[in-house]
Structure 1
Amino acid sequence: MNAPTSPDLRAALRRNGYAFVTADVMRGLLDAATLDDWSAFAASWNELGDDAYLAARGRHRRRRHAVFAAGADGTIHHEPHQPHYQSLAYNALQGDIERWFEPVAPAIADGASLQRILAFCRASFGALAPEVRQWRIEAHQFRIEARADEAGEPTPEGVHRDGVDYVLVLLVARENIERGTTTIHAPDGRELGQFTLARPFDAALVDDHRVFHGVTPVIPKDPGQAAHRDVLVVTFKAG
């Protein structure tokens, strides 16, 4: 499946190591009006399982996970379910362990919305690294919940790198949420930019070799109502 990409977006990633994309632009790049399964895709965040590894450290979020592979011809294959692994060098909170999460539901993993997003990433990141013949792709559905007595932590490990080549963070929904600003940092800690993913399809793209990223905690606008932030995170790594 082919997906359009933007020369301006690639130029920003080459120049700065990151790019923020507004919903209006991202919808056009994904041809979102043709994604007839988007409602079901977004609703699938209501079916995420608990992140038991994080709960063991006194924090809370929900997630599902899937792995794909993309070859030089652009074909994207859904791989068998497998664990997510990061070394301590990249995740001081949960590194050096295999973490098994509930899989992304097959209808979602193979559906038009996620496949279009993956194809867009392959086109964008592949243009930046044309020498890569094979990509390992991981897709993470995250729901961060906030309560009156406890802020939600989109990045409990703090400002970090993921240990991959490229990252896409795409907002799917925000319900009764304030804050949650994505920040980009140089290796020496200097802040290079910030952007709040506020509308569905707002996105951040990151060159993980060059910059670090994090997200500020989220709090409820109305403490008496349920509050959550839903994002899709897609990582691409050569090999």
Structure 2
Amino acid sequence: MHDSTFSDAIAEVLEIREQYVKDRSVFVEGARMVRILQTLGATDEDLERIRLVSDHLAPDPTLPFRESKNGRFCFDFDHSTVYRLESQPFALSAEEDFVRHDSGQTRIFEEIGNDLQGNSAFRALLAFKSMIFREVPTAPRAKLDYDNPSWICTVFNLRTVSTPDLVGEPALEGVHSDGVDHTMTTFLGSENMTDDSAVTFLHDMRERNATRWNETDPELVLGQCRHRHFLDTLIVVDHERKHSLSPVSAVDKRLPATRDMLIFFTRKPVLEGHISHPYDSLKAHERLPMAIGLPSPVARRELVGAGSPVAGGTAPWT
């Protein structure tokens, strides 16, 4: 890969980051993401494979219209790496602006496997996100340890399914936040889904939690977007923008409609008293180990890079 190609891609990422800092959210179209991820090591073969990774999900622990898996990763910027963390239960509370029937419940998801974490496109998504959120100041959340140098990223692979008997809700909880510092959502694909399905609305933090997407105050709507093309990606400062989504509707009402996503929840480790404190280990996963290099601050600032191997491709950063 030519240095100029890599430099152009890094410059493009920094442009996206500048918009994120300014607007506290940014939507990146899929075609642009493909170019960036290829520069960050994603192979054509893995880009095709990641489209289908949601075909192997498990039943969701609390939502009948969803299939899911998750996995935990640690951004270790001191060593310019991200590594897989051991599996832990998952919980979100009303205190974190998440109000649903299962708020505060401890949920256990099936783990994502090497078909996803070993995919070079997925690894490039982790690298991309690291470059966007690193050193971006945000409104702090209660009971998070901002003195800790590590960042925990919980990744969800989700399929929302609507059937003739069941409406698939990407956000059954209505207006909410995700209890983190930075949320990134990436579209993998859909089947039989209408063009007006699954619209994401961004709301001022004054909007009332659990309000349905179509019952919110228009004056508190800060924007909207729709994931419709492969790798369309939205990144949001989670404690400064709430969000809601409309349901998944079927073109052919007789058949299921599906929507496949990757969700990257990234936050600081929690402090004692936080609902997730018992489930916030920084221990590496023993059965499913993974560790990859991340773009260094030098690569970001000076727009230069040298070859560094990533499974399935080459990531040209130092």
TM-score scaled by structure 1? 0.90
More strand by share: 1
Aligned to 1:15: 22
Give, in angstroms, the shift of residue 113 of structure 1: 1.8
Give, in angstroms, the shift of residue 174 of structure 1: 1.4
Distance 2:103 2:57 in 1: 22
Distance 1:230 1:138 in 2: 17
Instruction: Give CA-to-partner distance per residue, 1:7-45, whole Å, 9 cap, x none.
Output: 232222222211111112211221276242233322220
Mapped pair 1:170 → 2:175 = no
Aligned to 1:210: 240
Please identify runs of 4+ aligned residues in structure 1 that moved more than 6 A.
none
Aligned Cα RMSD in Å? 2.1
Distance 2:89 2:45 in 1: 30
**For this pair of structures, how many residues does the alignment match?**
234
Give, in angstroms, the shift of residue 141 of structure 1: 0.4
Give, in angstroms, the shift of residue 95 of structure 1: 2.0
- The AA in structure 2 aligned to 1:74 is S
Distance 1:22 1:40 in 2: 19
Give, in angstroms, the shift of residue 139 of structure 1: 0.4
> Of residues 169, 173, 177 in structure 2, which corresponds to 1:157?
173
Aligned to 2:204: 186
Aligned to 1:82: 88
Distance 1:8 1:193 in 2: 20
Range with bigger deviation, 81-90 or 137-146: 81-90
Distance 2:229 2:158 in 1: 16
> Of residues 109, 120, 128 in structure 1, which corresponds to 2:117?
109
Mapped pair 1:120 → 2:136 = no
> Of residues 152, 163, 167 in structure 2, which corresponds to 1:147?
163
Range with bigger deviation, 118-127 or 228-237: 118-127
Q: Is the 8 A contact 2:89 2:108 kept in 1?
A: yes
Distance 2:134 2:55 in 1: 32
Give, in angstroms, the shift of residue 133 of structure 1: 2.3
Q: Percent identity?
A: 25
Unaligned runs of 5+ in 1: none
